[in-house]
Chain A
Amino acid sequence: DQQVKQNSPSLSVQEGRISILNCDYTNSMFDYFLWYKKYPAEGPTFLISISSIKDKNEDGRFTVFLNKSAKHLSLHIVPSQPGDSAVYFCAAKNKNAGNNRKLIWGLGTSLAVNP
């Protein structure tokens, strides 16, 4: 039972346009969300995070939006660049899981930014 769902396995966007990657979750106890980016043959790298007390967090070209009532978050990349082509994972933490809070991962969305 996937508690973190990334319903789009893939997304294709033109260079310079906005990329929007979506993530839905089912557990209302999740209070911290992270996005990781993964290139082929490399490990995931942390991109951006958001706490449930916020509804937006921005870091350069990357912005994450959180809609708690809809249990939905999205990652916006503006403008998209060919180097952004990667698999993007959404992950969440449960506030009741203690200090060793394990991440619950989505299955990822493969983004292709076309020149």
Chain B
Amino acid sequence: NAGVTQTPKFQVLKTGQSMTLQCAQDMNHEYMSWYRQDPGMGLRLIHYSVGAGITDQGEVPNGYNVSRSTTEDFPLRLLSAAPSQTSVYFCASSRQGGSPLHFGNGTRLTVT
């Protein structure tokens, strides 16, 4: 029972590079979301999805894109990485928008 799986665990990028953070869940959850955690800022919602084909913006969506082509996968794309995107990124899912979230173990991203 894998739950929410995030890859990679660590990543270092140079400014301007692009990459995709992968997130997959095997619980058949409809709701998926991406958060970033920064010191002194708590957890901030980047984007979320209430089902395949549906995505919406959270509090801090700028610089990130998402898509939800299947129920299981919810990748987060950084189109042109900036040092301000250095953070720990968490993917989370739940049965529906109001249910408790299940989190992955995070991706620690450093942009130099």
Q: Do A and B come from one complex?
A: yes
Chain A residues at the B interface, C-beta cutoff of 8 Å: 32, 34, 36, 41-46, 49, 89, 93, 99-103, 105-108
**A44–B105 CB distance below 8 A:** no
Question: B31, B40, B59, B98 — which one has the most chain A CB atoms within 10 A of its CB?
Answer: B98
Q: Beyond A41-B106, A107-B42, A108-B42, is A34–B97 a contact (Cβ under 8 Å)?
A: no
**Interface pick from B43-51, B62-70, B72-80:** B43-51
Q: Please tell me the number of chain B residues within 8 Å of chain A, measured between CB atoms.
A: 25
Q: What separation, in Å, do the CA atoms of A44 and B33 have in the docked complex?
A: 13
The contact sample of 20 A-B pairs, CB cut-off 8 A, is A36-B101, A41-B105, A42-B105, A42-B106, A43-B92, A43-B103, A43-B104, A44-B43, A89-B42, A89-B43, A99-B50, A99-B96, A100-B31, A100-B48, A100-B97, A103-B43, A103-B45, A105-B42, A107-B40, A107-B42
Report the nearest A residue to B90, measured CB to CB: A43
Q: Which residues of A contact B48 (CB under 8 A)?
A: 100, 102
Please tell me if B56 contacts chain A, counting CB pairs below 8 Å: yes
Q: Which residues of A contact B92 (CB under 8 A)?
A: 43
**B102–A46 CB distance below 8 A:** yes
Q: Which residues of B contact A32 (CB under 8 A)?
A: 98
